[in-house]
Structure 1
Amino acid sequence: MAAPAKATDQKDLSKALANKAAAGNGQGKTIAQLFDEMKPAIAQAIPKHLTPERLLRIATTSIRTNPKLKVCTPESLLGAVMQCAQLGLEPSILGHAYLVPYRNKKKEGNKEYFVDEAQFQIGYKGLIELARRTGHISSIMSQAVHEKDLFEYEYGINEKLRHVPADGDRGPVTKYYAYAKFKDGGYSFMVMSKRDIELHRDKFSKAKFGPWVDHFDEMAKKTVLKALMKYMPISVEFQKAVSMDETTKREVSDDMSEVIDVTDWSESSAEDAGGGDEQRDPDTGLLNDRPPDDQVEFE
């Protein structure tokens, strides 16, 4: 009986937030006030190991300490936090999840403009945590391979994987690999060169800040681990959870995996990621890069 109420509460909340943004009623509200309005929906979505109070406290701290998140739209911040809630991942330096500010294109009628929005990203440790929760995996890990390490691998019928780290100076990193052992005795692994990792980063990370800059090694391990998971016999629920990685949502729903990802991966958007101050257009009344009355106060 609780599920229908959960869906109704979150859909009503999403609709209310959208109406506030359209009317400019979000202006002047603190992030704490917006999160407080969201707490009932989070309480119904969050796993037992995490409380709404703890999640919102951590999220608020993450936002307050990152100036670029402070100018992100409330809808995207709430959408990112709700994804954290549904997956039971904390958006903090622990590496479970991140709230990353990006600049996206947004269209209203015939007008297009850039808007600062928060993107939800699963961290390396968060991805491992989600995999372990499925109950099908006995061991899962990702490692970096250095130039002086002994590393052998082969795909095919007689596939093999062997890694012996060198003593002392191991040299620069050349590859990353991930492996998983299943409780039924099976196993699977994936190897990617550092160059492949960098190409992935350049394609899917627009900003010159964030986890790819501050935590490259962990993001590289996550990338190869995520590539491996595409071929792993894991539940549909787990695959839906992974599909929320690197997404920007402007709505709150009882199933955030079904909300449309609005991240704009175009090069023009990449060049404008994390831009600076803008002036209001005298003809449209809009800021050059974002609409008016769509920000949140944090003090």
Structure 2
Amino acid sequence: MGQLTQATQGRQMTANTAERDIRDMVRASWPQIQRVIGGNLKPDMLLQYCISSINREPALRNCTPVSVLSCFMQCAALGLKPSNVDGLGQAYILPYGNKNHQGGQPDATFVIGYKGMLKLLENSGIYAQPVAVYEDDGVKLKMDAKGTPYIECPDEINLDADHSPDKLKFVFLSIDLPNGGTYAAYMSRKDLEAYRDRYAPRSKRRGNAISGPWATNFVEMGLKTLIRRSFKYLPVSVEAKAATTVDETTPDYSDVLTPQITDAMTTVVDTTPANEPEPEPEPEEQAPTDQREAKLFDLINRFKALGVASEQEACQTVSKIINRTVTAFTDMSEAEIDKVLDDFQHGAPDTAKDGE
């Protein structure tokens, strides 16, 4: 048998294995999965999303099936559609991550696009349209007496302005808030380059050069960075704010998919060429508040997986675990969240019932 034929058959086996494992996990764990993602997707649609994405991004076949399915669950839980499916750029399921698994399998990574960030704002009743301003646009950035930035546009638009990424001058965001207030922010090209140089991944094979989306989509990454920073200052939901902290990570829904992990996670031989894209996540600053929100986001999803959709009911259980009355998730300290998560790790807590 020729080498080309063997390689082709090897890839086909990998594809069949990945798709079969994901299908088996969805069938075995659908009730638990549905509690996490709500009514956003039916099982056949979730499977179709996964299989379509694998067909369009073959390298996903080499990722652990649990991580691939977890990324799609994360998309569904947030109400975002993966760009692998519709090309709209709300979210991406990318074939890179850690390789600490047996056989060197990477984990798929969940990445929110800047349009996905805007969608999360819209879910909280906040509508925004970021602007990328280029050198030849004639647009000026100014400050009012209160130090709030705003842009001043020329009477005539320069239709011949060069909008190449290297001509980007700054990115700007202005939002009219539901309470009548306003929020405005900007990042200059110098700010964006400093952020990129600090956090963007680099390729050792290319002399430590910057790689990933900052190298290929500088403007879009600039818009995303500006929007993501705004979440700290806007009245968005806890779920939306916490979602920014799980961006560019591998979601951990292994506890939801536990019934199928042993049988489904078969060793997959990496048959892709050596020049397959390297891991390209863009790390984000992890302030203590962000870490707390990420843990809170995890806790909310774990209660949903148990079928506890009511925050009041969940807080009754939390109150028993931490030995004090809690009326809302936001009342909890990070240490208390850790204590409840630890309780989950050692066995799901008994949910409180009315009258107990």
TM-score by length of 1: 0.64
Which residue pairs with 1:150 in the alignment?
Answer: 139
2:141–2:150 CA contact under 8 A, matched in 1: yes
- SS in structure 2 opposite 1:106? coil
- Cα separation, 1, equivalents of 2:196 and 2:241: 21
Cα offset, 1:97, TM superposition: 0.7
Cα offset, 1:99, TM superposition: 0.6
> Over residues 163-211 of structure 1, what are the superposed CA-to-partner deviations in whole Å (9 max), with x where a residue is unaligned?
4274222232121122221111111122112343344345144678765
2:200–2:212 CA contact under 8 A, matched in 1: no
The partner residue of 1:45 within 33, 36, 46 is 36
- Cα separation, 2, equivalents of 1:143 and 1:37: 45
Which residue pairs with 1:224 in the alignment?
Answer: 226
Which residue pairs with 1:133 in the alignment?
Answer: 123
- Cα separation, 1, equivalents of 2:149 and 2:25: 52
Identity of matched residues, %: 33
Matched, 1:80 2:71: yes
- Structure 2: which amino acid aligns with 1:249? P
- SS in structure 1 opposite 2:107? strand
Aligned in 2, Cα 1:52/1:45: closer, same or farther, shift over 3 Å?
farther
- Structure 2: which amino acid aligns with 1:106? N
- Structure 2: which amino acid aligns with 1:147? E
Which residue pairs with 1:238 in the alignment?
Answer: 240
Cα offset, 1:44, TM superposition: 2.6
1:173–1:194 CA contact under 8 A, matched in 2: yes
Matched positions, count: 228
- Structure 1: which amino acid aligns with 2:192? I
- Structure 1: which amino acid aligns with 2:150? L
Which residue pairs with 1:284 in the alignment?
Answer: none
Paired residues for 1:88-167 under 5 Å = 88-92=79-83, 93-106=87-100, 115-135=105-125, 137=126, 139-148=127-136, 149-154=138-143, 157-164=146-153, 166-167=157-158
1:103–1:274 CA contact under 8 A, matched in 2: no
1:142–1:222 CA contact under 8 A, matched in 2: no
> Over residues 206-234 of structure 1, what are the superposed CA-to-partner deviations in whole Å (9 max), with x where a residue is unaligned?
67876556654333211111112222232
1:103–1:114 CA contact under 8 A, matched in 2: no
- Structure 1: which amino acid aligns with 2:79? G
Unaligned runs of at least 5 residues, structure 2: 1-16, 204-209, 257-274, 280-356
Kindly indicate whether structure 1 or structure 2 has the higher relative contact order, using CA contacts under 8 Å at least 6 residues apart: 1
Cα offset, 1:46, TM superposition: 2.6
The partner residue of 1:180 within 149, 172, 175 is 175
1:175–1:192 CA contact under 8 A, matched in 2: yes
Aligned in 2, Cα 1:230/1:75: closer, same or farther, shift over 3 Å?
same
- SS in structure 2 opposite 1:240? helix
- SS in structure 2 opposite 1:121? strand
The partner residue of 2:47 within 45, 48, 56 is 56
- Cα separation, 1, equivalents of 2:232 and 2:77: 21
- SS in structure 2 opposite 1:162? strand
- Cα separation, 2, equivalents of 1:147 and 1:28: 48
Cα offset, 1:132, TM superposition: 1.1
Bigger-Rg structure (1/2): 2
- Structure 2: which amino acid aligns with 1:189? A
- Cα separation, 1, equivalents of 2:60 and 2:202: 15
- Cα separation, 2, equivalents of 1:122 and 1:154: 31
Which residue pairs with 1:290 in the alignment?
Answer: none
2:22–2:69 CA contact under 8 A, matched in 1: no
- Cα separation, 2, equivalents of 1:162 and 1:249: 39
- Cα separation, 1, equivalents of 2:276 and 2:189: 25
- SS in structure 2 opposite 1:41? helix
Aligned in 2, Cα 1:144/1:222: closer, same or farther, shift over 3 Å?
same
1:102–1:206 CA contact under 8 A, matched in 2: no
- Cα separation, 2, equivalents of 1:156 and 1:248: 44
Which protein has the bigger strand share?
1
- Structure 2: which amino acid aligns with 1:95? G
- SS in structure 1 opposite 2:240? helix
> Over residues 93-119 of structure 1, what are the superposed CA-to-partner deviations in whole Å (9 max), with x where a residue is unaligned?
2111101122425389xxxx9541111
- Cα separation, 1, equivalents of 2:61 and 2:194: 29
Paired residues for 1:252-267 under 5 Å = 252=254
Which protein has the bigger helix share?
2
1:176–1:192 CA contact under 8 A, matched in 2: yes
2:174–2:182 CA contact under 8 A, matched in 1: yes
1:73–1:118 CA contact under 8 A, matched in 2: yes
